[in-house]
Amino acid sequence: MVPTRLDLSAERIEGDARLAIAGEIDHTNYRALVEQATALLAGPRPTRLVLDFAGVTFCNSSGLNALVQIYHRASAIAVPVRLVNVRRRQSEILALTEIGPLFDWPPGAQA
């Protein structure tokens, strides 16, 4: 199976670890997202982990699984996770699956 395209770009801004995500998150690449987020948490402990969904065009149940894994890893070290720039359809899925409340995630949030 050919992995779908997923681009990840990490940076630190004023104590926050920020991960910009672009492309499709599915079963072929969700582990890369978890690994990159985990690496950001393993460095100097950030005050918050910000996941920027501006470039995400697709996210299936594997992507939701990745978000839950990231949440658990971050909460184990008391780092809140904020989701920003989440598209309407993805917001609906987060609400429907009831995992949205795990995150600092006001729908429509920009960072």
pLDDT digits (tens, 9 = 90+) for 84-103: 999 988 888 888 899 988 99
pLDDT single digits (tens) 33-45: 999 999 999 989 9
* Contact of 105 with 86, CB cutoff 8 Å: yes
Tokens read off for 86: 């989440």
Strand, helix or coil at 23?
A: strand
CATH superfamily placement of domain 6-102: STAS domain (3.30.750.24)
User: Could you tell me the pTM of the whole model?
Assistant: 0.91
Strand (E) or helix (H) holding 68:
helix 61-75
* Contact of 71 with 105, CB cutoff 8 Å: no
User: Strand pairing partners for 83?
Assistant: 51
Radius of gyration of the chain (CA): 13
pLDDT single digits (tens) 50-80: 999 999 999 999 999 999 999 999 999 999 9
Strand, helix or coil at 57?
A: strand
Listed by start position, the domains of the chain span 6-102
Strand, helix or coil at 100?
A: helix
- Map tokens 């670890």 to a residue: 17
